[in-house]
Amino acid sequence: MTEAKKILETLEELKLNYSFSKNTLTLNEACAYTGISKSYMYKLTASCKIPYHNPFGKKLYFNKVELDRWLTSYTDNYERKSLENDKWASTILSDFNKNVK
């Protein structure tokens, strides 16, 4: 890798790190911040499954605090669904055990 290429990569990393210190992120910054692909991010915004802002009708913006809240609520929902599935499974097993005796 050439020295110029290394410098460009370092500058890109610095630029990305700087963007994460902002409160409002662009689409590309939000994708990098969350690890979500651009196409999937568009799907999430189109279905209103992720908080976003579109003040001028063209560009999408994301509030970092809202993204963090959305990301953690997703894991909370996942854990809640897992617990519900566990409760459902234990109910089924309990009913099964009652019928077997």
pLDDT digits (tens, 9 = 90+) for 19-57: 567 899 999 999 988 889 999 999 999 999 999 999 988
Instruction: Please tell me the distance from the alpha carbon of residue 64 to that of residue 34, in angstroms, as a whole number.
Output: 10
pTM of the predicted model as reported, rounded to 2 decimal places: 0.59
Q: Report the largest interatomic distance among the alpha carbons of the chain, rounded to a whole angstrom.
A: 75
Contact 52, 62 (CB under 8 A): yes
Running DSSP on this structure, what letter comes out for residue 25? E
Domain ranges, ordered by start, for the chain: 3-100
Tokens of 42: 């568009």
Higher pLDDT, 92 or 70: 70
pLDDT band for position 9 (cuts 50, 70, 90)? confident
User: Highest mean pLDDT range out of 5-19, 26-40, 67-81?
Assistant: 26-40
Tokens of 25: 């992120």
Average pLDDT score over the chain: 78
How many angstroms separate the Cα of 1 from the Cα of each of 4, 6, 23, 62? Answer: 8, 7, 34, 35
